[in-house]
Amino acid sequence: MKQIVISITALVIALAATAQSKTKVSWAYTAKKLADKKYELRLTASIQNGWHLYSQNLDKDAIALPTTVKFNKNPLVVMSGKVKESGKLIAEFDKATQSNSKYYKDKVDFVQVITLKAGAKTSVSGEVEFMVCDDKSCLPPSKVPFTIPIQ
């Protein structure tokens, strides 16, 4: 019985370690008031050393999946323009995908300006889909849901 408990515990620890090793990007979400009813939403990706996250705007020959930010509909919110990227963009030939790529290392912000239709408290939710690679391989695309409170 003791061996079964030890085996199960070892299996759980191994699975947890494997799951953690695939998390190469951590996300933070903020809303900053710019003016009356106008806010800047910032989705910040912190990327582990040695890995990179792809831009939303990849060349036609790129094999990698571009980062996409999708917002759920909210009747109180009007989006102003498209999501912009803020960070040090690297454009070069990517050995892992054998194509021209645009990506970020360390950190990048995805910024969306919104206007509220009313002065009520609400939140903006959605999903970020992204792909990360290092110099040798790429991980499968990940989707991360988010909710940003607007106060």
Q: Which residues pair with 102 in a beta bridge?
A: 91
- CATH node for 25-150: 2.60.40
CA dist 137 → 50, 61, 66, 82, 113 (Å):
11, 18, 16, 30, 34
Report residue 48: phi and psi, to 5°.
-60, 150
Residues 52-84: tens digit of each pLDDT? 999 999 988 788 899 999 999 999 999 999 999
Structure tokens, 60: 């036609």
In b/e form, how buried is each residue of 31-70, taking b as 16+ CB within 10 angstroms?
beeeeebebbbbbbbebbeebbbbbeebeeebebbbbebe
Residues 15-49: tens digit of each pLDDT? 333 343 468 999 999 999 999 999 999 999 999 99
Alpha-carbon Rg for the chain in angstroms: 19
122 vs 40: CA distance, rounded Å:
14
Give the global pTM. 0.82
Report residue 6: phi and psi, to 5°.
-65, -40
Mean pLDDT of 101-111: 96
